[in-house]
Structure 1
């Protein structure tokens, strides 16, 4: 169970990271070859798998996602073959992105990291609630024993009402205060 959950969480992170990188690269006016996508998926999966063992916060997800986006940007830029006759429609030339691309990557990484961190928190909260409910269901049969009234069992005692010493009775209209 733990291994399959770890693999599922790693796969979600890798696919989101790859999707963000490919979408940004294609929207920037370039194409991404299939071998580069496979390599990028392996890179993102390999980077996320060691960290997917327990709940992670935004403080770890954000730098990991930003670092992977930089690596994916470099990988996609290096794998893209540019012919000299093709017009330069990509938003940057070479490996150094322009200010617009940096801003777009920054916004995309920030919003995606927030989305992944909230999803991570929701998943772990759901798993904790599920564990508590399962624990209650497992322990419930042991705690609740069927009531068996045998003929020799005496009736329970009648509880007497205790005298309440510190009771304040405020029944009735308010008292008139002499001025």
Structure 2
């Protein structure tokens, strides 16, 4: 599996869309905007997935991921406010006031950082997947630096034990039989 694989790219885009849609819909409902209809959620999710698919052809840096996430948050907010069922509430939610803008910015930055860390882990796993396995295992175990070539197995000579060597323990204690009455409790 390569990073350019369309299936992997679609799965990554779907994860991005689910996270952005969940955070924005949750914030919208928490702020008193009501629940989101399934049609509006589907349009928003497909839009976020399309955006993520377009920009997801390569590994994104942290700033780029956060910018895309904040942008998706704002666009989803405007979509949800536009589709609000009560016309009298549309005016108050359609524009971004300072407090709502700060909340979207913070939520977008935190979500973007979280998605960036997940993407970094995924790209690292893909790079390790494509690397030769023996050096990767050595690196993971910390045994030998990757650039140093050492044999995998070494021959160890068998050594006969020396005759007449004993292992006497000085001051050994012999305790045979039942415990003494004072110790038996």
TM interval, shorter chain, is 0.5 to 0.7
Query: Can you list the C-alpha shifts for 1:24-79, whole angstroms capped at 9, x where unaligned?
Result: 10111122111110100111011111121221111211111111111111110010
The alignment status of 1:34 with 2:42, answered yes or no, reads: no
* CA–CA distance in structure 2, aligned partners of residues 135 and 4 of structure 1: 28
Query: Can you list the C-alpha shifts for 1:85-130, whole angstroms capped at 9, x where unaligned?
Result: xxx6x9x814123322122111101101111111111111111112
Q: CA RMSD in A?
A: 2.2
Distance 1:135-1:9 versus aligned 2 partners, 3 A rule = farther
Task: Give the secondary-structure state (helix, strand or coil) at the position aligned to 1:93.
Answer: helix
The alignment status of 1:46 with 2:45, answered yes or no, reads: no
The alignment status of 1:123 with 2:127, answered yes or no, reads: no
* CA–CA distance in structure 1, aligned partners of residues 87 and 59 of structure 2: 46
Instruction: Report deviation, 1:135.
Output: 8.3
Partner of 1:107: 106
The alignment status of 1:75 with 2:79, answered yes or no, reads: yes
How many residue pairs get aligned? The number is: 132
The alignment status of 1:95 with 2:94, answered yes or no, reads: yes
Partner of 1:4: 7
Instruction: Report deviation, 1:136.
Output: 6.7
* CA–CA distance in structure 1, aligned partners of residues 67 and 87 of structure 2: 34
| Runs of 4+ that moved beyond 6 A | none
Structure 1 unmatched ranges of 5 or more: 138-179
Identify the range of structure 1 (95-104 vs 2-11) with the bigger mean alpha-carbon deviation: 95-104
